[in-house]
Structure 1
């Protein structure tokens, strides 16, 4: 048996080679040296992975390992390998192998002869597979054939292919059972045959009527129709179709029972998509009316959300704090915030994100919606897997900020224990906190009284009042820091009037970033203004913070982090530590 007979008998891959075939057999199966050489080369090529994407074929190693090594790749093919491929008897290869090899030669060597072989092999393979209504693979291979034909300007092939596809969508009743496949073929014709666009619009109208109860099929059909209309430059019809799509979204959403979170979220998205279409097509009044529906549906999101319960054994943490603070003075207990509060570095958060990606790749593929207590979406985080975690970016910072928010639930446990211990054991008054703020380089001199008063309120369960003081004072603290580092905290308008910079711009001040710890700047920025994290400053500035919210972990963590920040530059605290052997022992090795 020669190599061609062997492949015909054993290779059942849709395109290319069956990888397992070359595990079960080896070159000793053949007697001729040429067959053995071809088998060995095909064995290597079988390890090349590939995928189709909008008519293109993208190659990649079939296997990639954690240590960076990989299986055979297109880049590993040598000139000798390509010479051997050129000398194959393509007439004896089946279409699935012929298409793959010829396409490989066309892409890598730009040899026109193989582009012709490739498109004809894909076309033959398409005719073999087109009756399989349960697979869309035939859609991908005919799209690839048309893509190559366009590259080489083979108009005759394009015309033949498009005619066959048009005959299929107009005469094959089986395709009506899989309307998505029919629409996929229509999308191909929209791209490659402008002469039948009006006919395609009529077919798409039929699809829209048949798919009224299927959101995604109808939506796809509407959008394909819009592509036709845009190519025909029918602006009025485009507007009417957009409004029809908006009406469809609204009607579909209205019919949902909303008995599950999925249905509620689908309805909400439909309404929002409809609002955008109405606004962009001159129906502002309808947009206002549908917005009222969105406001009514948002509370249902919160009602359906179920908390995920995680049990943590924090006994050892609490016991350690308990032993540390035994017999300490009030001031020494406050200084213990240095040990109890963890200020995570960005790199630590980044590493934990990487660990999550490795442990749970599937969950890392899902975007995350950050919603407020009414169900409104504050921001949408892209899937972690789509980010380069080694490169700083705005999107990565948002993920890190959200990671910080989640971890505050753990960090706050020790903080809450320490706060409760202090308020139960000591009779606190504002003056007791003088040692923290007096002679403190980071606390503005004219703000020291209000700082210690706000800290006093928080320690005495007046957290709501305390946060309304602390948030703007901490904002001012970082403005002062930026200014002291030589940065500008104002902007000048064209008319010469000055405006105070937004807090976001303050945290991005070059001089501040050069002079101050970037991890601390990131942490307080996340807590104060990042929607994916605390957003404390914005919630307070807009009057959105309720008394019921104040018990959240993010607020106790903010308080603890602020105490630790102030302790770093407190001369009074430093003097106490200097004369306290117990504190020196407790804080040994602490950041």
Structure 2
């Protein structure tokens, strides 16, 4: 059964106007007009509804996605969870008929504007499987490649240049088109040369795509040029005598790409040289930082000196790092903040949580987004009034092959309901936490080491290498690595906390006599002494996030390999980083708990 598709005149006028437009525009410009026009339609027919949806969807999907639910290049801008726990996407391609893909393919052949043709053709290629459930047409890919490359000089933003060139190259390689592959690769190298001349910090897109490529036909001269460019970046950004251009983080980023290349060629001396250059830059950077940040920066310097094979420098910076940790601990202060916000006033909220003092900002973010047990308990009880049927129905939480958890009714299992409410709260706070971190980066220029150093305010980590690795992965949006590195570090910190509280951190092995194993996160967080030290709010937060199957249960989901790749996304990373901010305050939580008891 086919679905008729008719583009309403109001939306067709917009498409034709942009097709004739000479000044540059992007998907957001035309997408905004199409969305407004769709909303202004009065009593459209079913065919017009579908036509309007086809045009709006074409520019609402994004290639800059945090999630990939359809295994595609284009994806949703965001997602959410309904009160029933169902995940929904914005926009969602569910129930979109194949005629929409056919329409996009026709648009790509009928229009004239390079950007529009590339967009429609790429959508037709990319969504043939997820929407139309049919084989892709290589001609769609060829149109997209040619038009992406032709559009590059007409687009004003540099990110559009390398984005278009890389997408064209990926498509050309995918369909095995040698001529188009060469054209796209040369275009990408031209974009890269422009970025290098302007000292742009987005050079890594091209390097990551081409340096180790086996299919794009990168020439020896092109690869040598990329290597030389990386060397120049490291030299400039690690030059401590040039404070204006010195940036150890960018130097490290370039070295992380070049060191493996040198090692594969057997050029180990060059690899060690780069490690040492980065180490010296971080050590110098640390000399001008406050103790908390300096300790984390020196951890990176120590690791880089170790990789460089310089034991004397490694030991020297480790001793200096330990002194900085001690100095940071001397400045600890108790705190108490109360912030009341409305969801309609984001700016006011951000002004309250991200303030002029970076440490105070960390405190406010940690406290604001920490679960409040009494508030959650009130919400659970209110479900008896607002949704009495749901409040009494037992809920089952299913995993792929088992019942992961069971939550009874409010009257019989109020504690279980508390975790369900906590899980919803984690999701509802997504935009607020994201914007708080964005403001923190914008206002204070924080780097990953800030978060690592803060988490170690009370000396929970003797070695911060993995903390720095994990927070750096989060900062560059590698959420898979960030989660797998940082969650075990949270468990290690909680175990150290238990040790300081006089709680045994090992137990007898259940099956091997005479041996011991470390206690796990669940045992730690359900220990009464730990709960008293952290207080009810922080205890519930860590339990719900990491250790209870009725909550997010991150520790066990990750440890047992139960999560798919698309489940590691930006908000998950933000929740983990936020928990690091909480770790830096655990002794203050204990002080507040004692005050409340008095």
- Give the TM-score range, shorter chain: 0.5 to 0.7
Q: Which residue of 1 aligns with 2:211?
A: 190
Q: Which residue of 2 aligns with 1:162?
A: 185
Q: Which residue of 2 aligns with 1:57?
A: 73
Deviation at 1:59, TM superposition (A): 0.8
Secondary structure (helix, strand or coil) at the match of 2:515 reads strand
Pairing partner for 1:348 from 418, 430, 433: 418
The 1:16/1:551 distance shift into structure 2, 3 A limit, reads closer
2:212 aligned with 1:179 = no
Deviation at 1:376, TM superposition (A): 5.3
Preserved contact between residue 179 and residue 217 of structure 1 (Cα < 8 Å): no
Q: Which residue of 2 aligns with 1:81?
A: 100
Q: Which residue of 2 aligns with 1:215?
A: 248
Larger radius of gyration: 1
Pairing partner for 1:21 from 33, 39, 51: 33
Secondary structure (helix, strand or coil) at the match of 2:75 reads strand
2:94 aligned with 1:90 = no
Secondary structure (helix, strand or coil) at the match of 2:26 reads coil
Secondary structure (helix, strand or coil) at the match of 2:76 reads strand
Q: Which residue of 1 aligns with 2:228?
A: 202
Deviation at 1:42, TM superposition (A): 0.9
Q: Which residue of 1 aligns with 2:428?
A: 358
Preserved contact between residue 48 and residue 62 of structure 1 (Cα < 8 Å): no
2:310 aligned with 1:283 = yes
CA–CA separation in structure 1 for the residues paired with 2:336 and 2:209: 49
Note the residue ranges of structure 1 that are not aligned, 5 or more in a row. 318-343, 389-393, 406-466, 480-488, 509-519, 536-548, 561-591
2:456 aligned with 1:371 = yes
Deviation at 1:533, TM superposition (A): 6.8
The 1:52/1:100 distance shift into structure 2, 3 A limit, reads farther
Deviation at 1:147, TM superposition (A): 1.5
2:263 aligned with 1:242 = no
Map 1:318-357; keep pairs closer than 5 Å: 345=415, 348=418, 351-352=421-422, 354-355=424-425
The 1:179/1:19 distance shift into structure 2, 3 A limit, reads closer
CA–CA separation in structure 2 for the residues paired with 1:311 and 1:362: 16
Pairing partner for 1:144 from 167, 183, 204: 167
Note the residue ranges of structure 2 that are not aligned, 5 or more in a row. 1-8, 129-135, 240-245, 340-373, 375-413, 438-450, 481-485, 543-586
CA–CA separation in structure 2 for the residues paired with 1:25 and 1:551: 52
Number of corresponding residues:
406
The 1:226/1:155 distance shift into structure 2, 3 A limit, reads farther
Map 1:89-488; keep pairs closer than 5 Å: 90-109=109-128, 110-129=136-155, 132=156, 135-170=158-193, 172=194, 175-192=196-213, 193=218, 195=220, 196-211=222-237, 212=239, 213-230=246-263, 232-254=265-287, 256=288, 258=289, 260=290, 264-303=291-330, 307-310=334-337, 345=415, 348=418, 351-352=421-422, 354-355=424-425, 358-359=428-429, 361-363=431-433, 369-373=454-458, 395=487, 471=502
CA–CA separation in structure 1 for the residues paired with 2:461 and 2:260: 32
The 1:183/1:63 distance shift into structure 2, 3 A limit, reads closer
CA–CA separation in structure 1 for the residues paired with 2:56 and 2:529: 55
CA–CA separation in structure 1 for the residues paired with 2:588 and 2:111: 76
Deviations 1:85-132 (A, max 9, x none): 333362524222222221122123221111111111211222323xx4
Secondary structure (helix, strand or coil) at the match of 1:51 reads coil
Deviations 1:494-547 (A, max 9, x none): xxx723555549x76xxxxxxxxxxx98243844999x9799xxxxxxxxxxxx
Preserved contact between residue 305 and residue 314 of structure 2 (Cα < 8 Å): yes
The 1:8/1:291 distance shift into structure 2, 3 A limit, reads same
Secondary structure (helix, strand or coil) at the match of 2:107 reads coil
Deviation at 1:362, TM superposition (A): 3.8
Deviations 1:411-442 (A, max 9, x none): xxxxxxxxxxxxxxxxxxxxxxxxxxxxxxxx
The 1:9/1:190 distance shift into structure 2, 3 A limit, reads same
The 1:309/1:92 distance shift into structure 2, 3 A limit, reads same
The 1:95/1:34 distance shift into structure 2, 3 A limit, reads farther
The 1:282/1:176 distance shift into structure 2, 3 A limit, reads same
CA–CA separation in structure 2 for the residues paired with 1:397 and 1:205: 33
The 1:115/1:360 distance shift into structure 2, 3 A limit, reads closer
Preserved contact between residue 370 and residue 378 of structure 1 (Cα < 8 Å): no
The 1:308/1:229 distance shift into structure 2, 3 A limit, reads same
Preserved contact between residue 328 and residue 457 of structure 2 (Cα < 8 Å): no
2:18 aligned with 1:7 = yes
Preserved contact between residue 491 and residue 498 of structure 1 (Cα < 8 Å): no
CA–CA separation in structure 2 for the residues paired with 1:397 and 1:77: 43
Secondary structure (helix, strand or coil) at the match of 1:57 reads coil
CA–CA separation in structure 1 for the residues paired with 2:210 and 2:422: 47
Secondary structure (helix, strand or coil) at the match of 2:455 reads strand
Preserved contact between residue 172 and residue 180 of structure 2 (Cα < 8 Å): yes
CA–CA separation in structure 1 for the residues paired with 2:188 and 2:62: 28
Q: TM-score, normalised by structure 1?
A: 0.54
CA–CA separation in structure 2 for the residues paired with 1:36 and 1:504: 55
Deviation at 1:13, TM superposition (A): 4.6
Secondary structure (helix, strand or coil) at the match of 1:498 reads coil
